[in-house]
Chains A and B, each alone.
Chain A
Amino acid sequence: MRPTVKKQRIAYFTPQGFLDGNNASGLITMQDMQAVKAAHVPMVLVSMKKVVFFNKNGISIVLDALTKIQKETKATIGFCDYTRKQYDAFFKFFEGDVGFSLFKTLDIAMLFAGGNEAKEGEENVLIFNEDPTQRSIQAIEIFDKGYNPVVVQTLDDYTARAEDKEKFVAIVERTYLGLMGNRIAAKTRGNCVIYYLKGFLDGSVTEQFDVMYHQNCLKVGFQLFMFDATRVSSLNIHAANFFSKLSTAGAEYGALIAIVGLDMEKTPKRFVEELEDAGIMFFENETDFFTDEVVQSMSGGGAAVKKEKHRLTKPVVARLPVLVSSTMDTLQMMTNMMALKEDMNIQPFTPKGKELMASSIAFYGDIDGMMTLVMPKELVKKSCTLLIGEESDDVGMLADALSELVNIVAGKSKTRLQEQGVNINITLPRSYTTIEDLEATLEGIQGVQVNFSFEDYPFMFYLSP
């Protein structure tokens, strides 16, 4: 069974029915393992939501496959979406030797996988586990992911605190952390990607840092990268070199890298000077960073603008029909509406229509570029009904669904290009809830704009370098 990839952070298997010794071997095949590896995710989970029966043999077979994935990818592996009875059964089966992780829900797993968007202010997460060691481990992991853990010691305390649901962004209980991956946590806030560092930084930072995720963020237009170093004791020359190289590589995209909260007294002065020479900025705290004039001037824009030396190349333009037809076919499939092509021009991005929403996805490999789909909210609603299940007015939900839609379009393009011998990889999608954000990102760019109409709705496809 192929996994669903949630927010490019979790490969999520959703078997239905029985996971016993006779049946479990079909769940994760060699091809599925390859698909997981290709997805480069930090977490691989099997959902128990629709598993009605499982036994030790079945779980052991699934774990064999998950462990193979873990060995090669260093991903966190485990199960989620279980009932109390199922949760207890895991411990009964493996009697204190539970090396995998258990997350009560996918949302809780996403906290630990770092797939959520950061909000302003302190984000409290309530944690309760009967085992004090687990409480501590979970609190540390949650803290590492940029949240404020609120740990309660007893069930009574937990019950009382859990009543104030609105005080917490999440409540973590009936969750168990086994061997966790040690990738550096990342979250996004607006146009900024925040990485959370801890301890003494040495050469191992290179292994713990998800380079592919970072590159994807650059390609899709993220411009600000903040390294939260409030929990870093110091760093050595290898870590300093790493940041220096990262900054140089990002310069091509006009990216700004900042280190926030680093203890300057414990950090050798020459490292700081070298990093400043490489273009890295230092701030005492997060507030200073977000209120800085330079940072604020960049907060709406995107890296694509700065890549002056990157223009749409002939090979990309030659594949434009594939990209456009993949987009149209997907939209027609999702809406059961017919698209009419109106015109196509090389031009700066020019929006048409009101209440527009947009989402971009970049691709790289044999050809590089970024596709952006722009349409009115009403058309987003229609296009995403298949994904959401009903028409919704919730902008956040629509933005998420639009990102999924762009992901599907890019997936279709990738398959079709592959058939023509052109190989590409795709980044994570980025959605824009206001058209001004997109305009800022595409400012000064000459791309190809193809205008369509879906019945009465305008639709814009924009291909940029």
Chain B
Amino acid sequence: MVTPKRIAEYIQSVPPLPETLKKSLEALEKGELAGAAKTAAADPAMIQYLKQIVNSAAYGFRNELKDASQIFSALGIERAKQLLYAYMVSSLAPKKWAYFTIDREGFRKFQRDLMRKWEEIVRHEKADEKYLSAAAIMSAGLVVADAIFGDHASDVALLRESGDYDLDTILQRVSRLSFDRLVATIAKKWEVDEDVVRLVSLAFGKEECPPQERLCRLARMLHLLLFYELSRPLMMDAGANAFIGFNPEFSEPVLEEFQEIVGIE
């Protein structure tokens, strides 16, 4: 099955931030939107990805955004950062998914819906907008899971016929590793803000944390949001609902507010 050695090799193979993206993020850190856009414009694949995302119905911009400067100025600093990380995750995603029965477009839709709803939550919670990037980083979990279990899909299917194991549980039992740690490792490699990495780790719902603490509250919201999106028929069909274990007790304290924000009746 999966071995720690194989996982270590995979994590090692994850590329660091490309120079263009790194410089663009640095410019955003300094508050230089125009500079960030100018740098990003040198990467046509990245601009193409951003155009596809921001011109989708989910973003609802009245006019088509055609170039880097329009995109960056429409998004603002933190949303632009979020999308740059989402692009990084998207680049890491396979052309043909091996474990999850999803295609590139399906994954992008999942990312987009996750990020848009997360924006609503972060704003509702009046949290620091730097946390917007957390949803994009969270989506990397599926990419990592697909890379690790892609060659073992039939073994996992057999295991799941006899027990309701999620992929994270299987991973822990065979390698003592877990997706929260792997995603955090990749996020650090991509120089993601430490607080955002901490939020993502907590949002896997495995650590105790007091609901009154702001970061914990956000983590509970993100945990719920992840499963809201993983409950969608597309993701259920893809086998992604069993990616990690859902923790209802962890989510309970923020459930009602979550429903209000997301608009579930």
- CB neighbours (8 Å) of A415 from chain B are 154, 158
Interface residue A407 (Cβ < 8 Å from any Cβ of B): yes
Contact with A52, one of B1, B170, B255 (Cβ below 8 angstroms): B255
Structural contact, B237 and A26, CB atoms closer than 8 A: yes
Q: Select the residue from A20, A52, A330, A408 with max chain B CB neighbours within 10 A.
A: A52
- With an 8 Å Cβ cutoff, the count of chain A residues facing the other chain is 39
Residue of B nearest to A403 (CB): B162
A125 to chain B, nearest CB (A): 25
- CB neighbours (8 Å) of A336 from chain B are 1, 3, 174
Task: Flag the segment in A1-9, A224-232, A291-299, A369-377 that touches B.
Answer: A1-9
- CB neighbours (8 Å) of A407 from chain B are 161-162
From 154 to 177 in chain B, residues with beta carbon under 8 angstroms from any chain A beta carbon are 154-155, 157-164, 166, 169-170, 173-174
Interface residue B57 (Cβ < 8 Å from any Cβ of A): no
- CB neighbours (8 Å) of A22 from chain B are 232
Structural contact, A387 and B162, CB atoms closer than 8 A: yes
Which secondary structure dominates chain B's binding surface?
helix
In the docked arrangement, what's the CA distance between A334 and B161, Å? 15
Interface residue B252 (Cβ < 8 Å from any Cβ of A): yes
Structural contact, B161 and A2, CB atoms closer than 8 A: yes
From 207 to 240 in chain B, residues with beta carbon under 8 angstroms from any chain A beta carbon are 224, 227-228, 230-237, 239
- CB neighbours (8 Å) of B224 from chain A are 52
Contact with B246, one of A16, A26, A404 (Cβ below 8 angstroms): A16
Interface residue B245 (Cβ < 8 Å from any Cβ of A): yes
From 49 to 85 in chain A, residues with beta carbon under 8 angstroms from any chain B beta carbon are 49-53, 55
Structural contact, A4 and B245, CB atoms closer than 8 A: no
Which secondary structure dominates chain A's binding surface?
mixed
- CB neighbours (8 Å) of A412 from chain B are 154-155, 158
Structural contact, A17 and B162, CB atoms closer than 8 A: no
Interface residue B242 (Cβ < 8 Å from any Cβ of A): yes
In the docked arrangement, what's the CA distance between A47 and B164, Å? 10
CB within 8 Å of B: which residues of A? Answer: 1-2, 4-5, 12, 14-20, 22-23, 25-27, 29, 47, 49-53, 55, 330, 333-334, 336, 385-387, 389, 404, 407-408, 411-412, 415
CB within 8 Å of A: which residues of B? Answer: 1, 3, 152, 154-155, 157-164, 166, 169-170, 173-174, 224, 227-228, 230-237, 239, 241-242, 245-246, 248, 251-252, 255, 259, 264-265
